[in-house]
């Protein structure tokens, strides 16, 4: 059965062997608290890379047993990032997570050509899974945070990433809508041109394991009545599992509108590296961080 609520990820993970998370420069209560919550549920194991004394102090202040974690002492921020990445490359950990380190340094560690987590030609992107009470299932969307203006090659990679996430959520044949400002084919709009190419590639088997259609406006993709009114008749219209946005502005506005105005919960991670990479922010709720860890654990090899 496909997962239709984020909470169901945790239920499913409880029956699986836990994956290990390597947290980079994990000197903060936000990271340690989120990992402790996931440990309480038995869905992960955790290695904290950072300043051992600071980590111990934070655990005391938060009432967390530091003995539940494996600690790797590395007080230097950048070196801590590289050490967390190294643990993944060594097979010790299957997930990497950003701690107190800056996003720039975290991404530098992931992208490093010699020591990082990127295979040649790989595209790093960001996938978000949104639970909206007004939609009948989860919405998987990208990219809202990493790629400002993905070109055709990058969009194809993102579609494949979303398909992989959908399948990890138990969706046998995901329905992918390539989003543009209109469902009409307009050669003057690059988003429409790219959508038509990607859709045709899927029709011819170059993108496998999903039903793909575009261009589609958001209302056509997620609302059956709008699709019927506009005469768009295909299996994706009104029932999309995945939304590929044409650029980061469109994706980010959709993401923040859902969370800030519609009160939606979500899980998110960076994909395209050798393992899922959790990129949580201080503004994320405890629940969001927990769900992001669960999503990474669900998709990790």
Residues 108 and 30 in one domain: yes
Q: Predicted confidence band at 284 (pLDDT cuts at 50, 70, 90)?
A: confident
Q: What's the CATH code of the domain at 73?
A: 3.40.50.10950
Residues 6+ apart with CB under 8 A from 230: 183, 220
Q: 121: which residues sit within 8 A by CB, 6+ positions away?
A: none
pLDDT confidence bin for 286, thresholds 50/70/90: confident
The predicted pLDDT at position 165 comes to 98
Average pLDDT across the chain, whole number = 96
Residue at 265 is within a domain: no
The tens digit of pLDDT for each residue in 73-126 reads: 999 999 999 999 999 999 999 999 999 999 999 999 999 999 999 999 999 999
Q: Is there a domain that residue 46 lies in? A: yes
Mean pLDDT of 287-299: 95
Q: Kindly list the distances between the CA atom of residue 260 and the CA atoms of 115, 128, 139, 282, in Å, as whole numbers in the listed order.
A: 37, 15, 16, 15
Q: How confident is the model at residue 186 (pLDDT cuts 50, 70, 90)?
A: very high
pTM: 0.94
Same domain, 138 and 108: no
94, 275 contact by CB (below 8 A): yes
pLDDT at residue 280, rounded to an integer:
81
State which residues form the domain around 277: 7-121+273-299
Cα(91)–Cα(114) distance, integer angstroms = 17
Task: Give pLDDT tens digits for 9-51.
Answer: 999 999 999 999 999 999 999 999 999 999 999 999 999 999 9
Q: Is residue 76 part of a domain?
A: yes
Please report the sign of the dihedral spanned by the C-alpha atoms of residue 188, residue 126, residue 29, residue 261: positive
**What one-character-per-residue DSSP string does 114-133 give?**
TTSSPPTT---EEEEEEE-T
pLDDT at 182 over 90: yes
Does residue 268 form part of some domain?
A: no
Residue 159 falls inside a structural domain? yes
Shared-domain flag, residues 147 and 249:
yes
CA distance 248 to 227: 25
Regarding whether 159 and 49 lie in a shared domain, the answer is: no
Residue 153 neighbours by CB under 8 Å, 6+ apart: 123
Do residues 157 and 244 both lie within one domain? yes
Contacts of 191 (CB under 8 A, 6+ apart): 178, 179, 180, 181, 215, 246, 247
Average pLDDT, stretch 246-260?
95
CATH of the domain at 227: 3.40.718.10
Calculate ∠ Cα 238-202-177, nearest 5°.
25
Q: Confidence class of residue 132 from pLDDT cuts 50, 70 and 90?
A: very high
| Alpha carbons 159 and 220: distance in angstroms, whole number | 18
Same domain, yes or no, for 144 and 80? no
Sorting pLDDT into bands at 50, 70 and 90, what band is 281?
confident
């Amino acid at each position: 059965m496909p997962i239709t609520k984020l909470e169901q990820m945790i239920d499913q993970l409880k029956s699986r062997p836990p994956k290990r998370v390597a947290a980079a420069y994990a000197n903060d209560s936000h990271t340690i608290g989120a990992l402790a919550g996931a440990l309480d549920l038995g869905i992960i194991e955790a290695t904290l890379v950072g300043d051992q004394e600071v980590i111990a102090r934070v655990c005391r202040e938060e009432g967390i047993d530091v003995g539940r974690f494996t600690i790797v002492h590395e007080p230097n921020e950048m070196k801590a990032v590289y050490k967390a990445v190294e643990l993944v490359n060594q097979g010790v950990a299957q997930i990497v997570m950003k701690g107190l380190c800056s996003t720039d340094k975290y991404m530098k560690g992931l992208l490093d050509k010699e020591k990082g987590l990127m295979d040649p030609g790989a595209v790093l992107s960001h996938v978000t899974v949104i639970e909206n009470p007004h939609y009948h299932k989860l919405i998987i969307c990208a990219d809202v945070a990493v790629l400002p203006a993905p070109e055709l090659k990058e969009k194809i990679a993102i579609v494949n990433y979303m398909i992989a996430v959908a399948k990890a959520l138990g969706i046998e044949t995901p329905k992918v809508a390539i989003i543009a400002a209109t469902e009409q084919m307009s050669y003057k709009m690059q988003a429409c041109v790219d959508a038509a190419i990607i859709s045709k590639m899927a029709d011819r088997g170059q993108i496998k394991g999903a039903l793909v259609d575009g261009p589609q406006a958001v209302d056509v993709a997620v609302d059956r009545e709008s699709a019927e009114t506009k005469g768009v008749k295909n299996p994706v219209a009104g029932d999309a599992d995945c939304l590929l946005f044409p650029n980061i502005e469109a994706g980010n506005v959709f993401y923040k509108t859902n969370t800030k105005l519609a009160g939606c919960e979500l899980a998110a991670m960076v994909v395209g590296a050798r393992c899922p990479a959790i990129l949580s922010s201080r503004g994320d709720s405890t629940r969001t961080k927990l769900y992001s860890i669960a999503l990474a654990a669900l998709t990790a090899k």
